[in-house]
Amino acid sequence: MEHNVQLQIQETGFTPQVLIVSEEADPGISAGVSTAFFSIKEGEEPKILSNYVFENKDGMKAHLLVTTQDYQTPTETLQFKVMQLHFLNSELSYSLIYVNLTDWFRYEINAFVQTVNNFEVLIDGEMQPINFGRDPIFLQLINDAKAKPDPESLPPGYESKIPGLAGTENGGCLIATATYGSELASQVQQLRELRDNTVLQTESGSAFMVGFNQFYYSFSPMIADYERENPAFRETVKLILTPLLTSLTLLQYVDIDSESEMLGYGIGIILLNIGMYFVAPAVLITKVRKRVNIEKLDEVHV
């Protein structure tokens, strides 16, 4: 599970689950598609949100479902969300299942993705990967699962227990989330709080965010996906983000009460980052090249 899962456990008392179940395949199944289905005992009737059957490049079929299910406790109604992947080999029926509370579901979905990507079964006498994680259907449902749940899909009177996130309607920090492992990471929370509590409180800040979001979301999903696949790249991005996050902390120590102050501080932060990321490296490279050229000239004269 993600390293910040402890926060959810403290807030809700529920530990997210990734379950792996195997049982003898029903010999009566002729279409090669598992008929297994997971639901929570004593919960209400599950609601099926997505229901797909697809086939990997090796011809193995999978049944992928996303469901929600309300569960009544003595004091409240909880809603659970479930993503379940069912498939068969020659002897067994397998189920990979991710269960979490609906409003926390997106935070630990990567644990389910990793399980699917790393899972192997016996095929033709050899342990082989199931190769479902790259299918467009699977990728689309995973992408959908990372979105904030629609309040209309939650039970009446349901109140989110996620601290600091209720009512946030803006997109997530995809690159930072992939870099630091969870939307609950302190660095991601810092960016979100800065956006919601500072930048979006002024008209100029809101206008900036509209343009920025159009630019940012044109490339950030690809970078975030590559970070999850490549740990070395993720560490590189983390190193690159550190100066930016450090500079943004300056806004936490100033009072921004007007449009002019927002513009002033915003332009100042932008210029500071241009200096750190572009001007300083350019000056350093220029000095190094001059030093190398001087040494080469000295060698020639000698």
- Per residue in 82-92, pLDDT (tens digit) is 999 999 987 88
- Per residue in 124-158, pLDDT (tens digit) is 888 999 999 989 899 989 988 887 766 555 555 45
Calpha distance 188→217 (Å, rounded): 16
- Is residue 195 classed as helix, strand or coil in its secondary structure? helix
| Cβ contacts of 51 within 8 Å, gap of 6 or more | 64, 65
Considering Cα of 19, then 24, then 26, then 29, what sign does the dihedral take?
positive
CA separation, residue 251 to residues 90, 194, 244, 265, 272 (Å): 60, 8, 12, 8, 13
- Per residue in 26-54, pLDDT (tens digit) is 776 656 788 889 999 989 999 999 999 99
Amino acid at 21: V
pLDDT of 161 above 70: no
Domain 1-149 has CATH 3.40.1000: yes
Rounded mean pLDDT of the chain? 82
Q: What are phi and psi of 259, to 5 degrees?
A: -65, -40
Q: Where are the domains of the chain?
A: 1-149, 164-302
Q: What is the structure's pLDDT at 299?
A: 67
Calpha distance 17→281 (Å, rounded): 46
